[in-house]
């Protein structure tokens, strides 16, 4: 057994963990990071990055099919084909480049990376098995960044044709038919992508709306896309199990039906990974199923921190990264604390959806008297020239002092505007600040300017 001592031990090398380790190394802290599977965690290997690659390929294929017909802009092309094996190889190449890059950054910043499964002995000691040998690591500070895993339904266990998002990103070929259980962002992102690739997709959702975390105004453009692609959406329906023909369900009116499907994609959420690393050896308070942390990401044990999905919603990679960076700086003696108000949530559907801060209803329920208006992309010159008129940008502000409380958008490429939205809230911008900022023309960002002007009562282009 090798004994290792360090200032900082990070358990889990997903976005939160590797950023924490890199930042700790930059600050001169003796740091070790342990990962049981692959550097980059779910996000880089089987989540954020590969899913966006598949979504991009699907978008390009749909665009090529559009140009094979009568396109509005006069571009004509032949009937498209897709070599899906090549698509997957391209996607895997991106993943490899990024994970290799993470390894290089850890090495550059003098972080020791150990591949193995970490198990707590006590609040300062962890055992890690690597290639048959065991490392006993003693650390002054430990950062738990174990992430999350797909939720498995007991009557639809992941096996064979019942798949999670992980398997959906590695299918040998697009299936002829697919049932998606759950109309959250993961299910709709992948469902829309496969529908564009020619799969007959049926979405089964127990609630009475798609994307339950977003309001109806934001989800309406996505509903139009689902209809255009021929995706059948069964709301108020419950999955019951797998049969020879596909997915057995109970419809909203209580009828038993079977959705024909080659593959059943279960996307009913993700669960924090709180087991398998010796939590029983520690005295940690829980916040429901998550680890409870304070505004410095400290757990109830001295010197033990937790970041990312294991600490609760929103379960987003960029939240984990920000927490990891913060905790490394706190250990180095910096005065930092966590504030989640300006975290963008992005849904990479078609069109994309972005939400930062408070929605109109959330602001009202928090006791604010609000002013809110949106500006449609159908009145934006750049959107018109991109054939991207669907959607809008909406601003929510306090009525008394015009402080911006939230920004939401639906539209093509609005994920790239999320930084501007988040920055406005982070900096405490008012409607006048945004209205007084000169936005380049012609850009989609002008709709942010116009939404603010409209909320003030004097929009220029509508």
Residue 117, classified by CB atoms within 10 Å of its CB into exposed (0-12), middle (13-18) or buried (19+), is middle
CA distance 111 to 28: 10
Instruction: Give the SS3 label for residue 16.
Output: helix
Residue 323, classified by CB atoms within 10 Å of its CB into exposed (0-12), middle (13-18) or buried (19+), is buried
Q: Which helix (H) or strand (E) holds 125?
A: strand 125-130
Q: What's the DSSP call for residue 298?
A: B
CA distance 183 to 173: 23
CA distance 98 to 94: 6
User: Does the annotation count 318 as an active-site position?
Assistant: no
Contact status, residue 338 vs residue 323, Cβ threshold 8 Å:
yes
Pairing of strands 238-242, 246-250: antiparallel
The token pair at 122 is 């006590």
Contact status, residue 225 vs residue 350, Cβ threshold 8 Å:
yes
Instruction: Give the SS3 label for residue 81.
Output: coil
Contact status, residue 408 vs residue 354, Cβ threshold 8 Å:
yes
Q: Rounded to the nearest 5 degrees, what angle is found at the Cα of 141, between the Cα atoms of 32 and 326?
A: 90
Edge-to-edge strands, sheet with 392-398:
345-347, 352-357, 404-411, 392-398, 370-376
Catalytic residue among 56, 318, 334, 441: 441
> How many of the other CB atoms lie within 10 Å of CB of 87?
20
Query: Quick one: which of 37, 293, 272, 281 has its CA closest to 143?
Result: 293
Residue 40 falls in which region: left (phi positive, over 0), alpha (psi -120 to 50) or beta: left
The token pair at 58 is 């699907």
> How many of the other CB atoms lie within 10 Å of CB of 38?
16
Residue listed under structure tokens 């057994």? 1
Query: Quick one: which of 358, 357, 345 has its CA closest to 415?
Result: 345
The token pair at 100 is 């290799």
Residues designated as active site: 441
């Amino acid at each position: 057994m090798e004994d290792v001592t360090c200032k900082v031990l990070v358990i889990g090398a997903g976005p939160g963990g590797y950023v924490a380790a890199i930042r700790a190394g930059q600050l001169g802290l003796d740091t070790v990071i342990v990962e049981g599977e692959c550097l980059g965690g779910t996000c880089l290997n089987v989540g954020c990055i590969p899913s966006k690659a598949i979504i991009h390929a699907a978008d390009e294929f749909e665009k090529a099919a559009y140009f094979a017909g009568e396109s509005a802009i006069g571009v004509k092309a032949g009937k498209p084909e897709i070599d899906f094996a090549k698509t997957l190889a391209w996607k895997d190449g991106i993943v490899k480049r990024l994970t290799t890059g993470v390894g290089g950054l850890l090495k550059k910043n003098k972080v020791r990376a150990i591949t193995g499964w970490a198990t707590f002995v006590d609040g300062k000691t962890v055992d890690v098995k690597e290639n048959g040998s065991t490392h006993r690591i003693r650390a002054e500070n430990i950062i738990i960044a174990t992430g999350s895993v797909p939720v498995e339904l007991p009557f639809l266990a992941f096996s064979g044709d019942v798949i999670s998002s992980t398997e959906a990103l590695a299918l040998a070929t697009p299936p002829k038919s697919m049932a998606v259980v759950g109309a959250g962002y993961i299910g709709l992102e992948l469902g829309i992508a496969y529908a564009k690739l020619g799969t007959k997709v049926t979405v089964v959702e127990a609630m009475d709306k798609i994307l339950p975390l977003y309001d109806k105004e934001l989800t309406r453009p996505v509903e139009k896309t689902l209809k255009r692609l021929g995706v059948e959406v069964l709301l108020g329906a419950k999955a019951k199990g797998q049969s020879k023909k596909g997915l057995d369900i109970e419809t909203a009116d209580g009828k038993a039906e079977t959705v024909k499907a080659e593959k059943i994609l279960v996307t009913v959420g993700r669960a924090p990974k709180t087991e398998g690393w010796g939590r029983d050896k520690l005295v940690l308070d829980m916040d429901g199923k998550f680890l409870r942390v304070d505004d410095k990401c400290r757990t109830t044990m001295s010197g033990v921190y937790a970041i990312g999905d294991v600490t609760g919603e929103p379960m987003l990679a960029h939240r984990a990264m920000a927490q990891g960076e913060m905790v490394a700086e706190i250990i180095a003696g910096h005065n930092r604390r966590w504030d989640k108000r300006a975290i963008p949530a992005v849904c990479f559907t078609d069109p994309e959806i972005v939400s930062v801060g408070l929605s109109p209803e959330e602001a009202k329920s928090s006791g604010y008297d609000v002013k809110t208006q949106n500006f449609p992309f159908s009145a934006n010159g750049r959107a018109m020239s991109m054939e991207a008129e669907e959607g809008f940008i909406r601003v929510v502000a306090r009525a008394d002092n015009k402080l911006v409380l939230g920004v939401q958008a639906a539209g093509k490429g609005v994920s790239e505007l999320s930084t501007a939205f988040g920055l406005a809230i982070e900096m405490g911008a008012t409607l006048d600040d945004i209205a007084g900022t000169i936005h380049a023309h012609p850009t989609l960002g002008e709709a942010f300017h116009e939404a603010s002007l409209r909320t003030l009562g004097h929009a220029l282009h509508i």
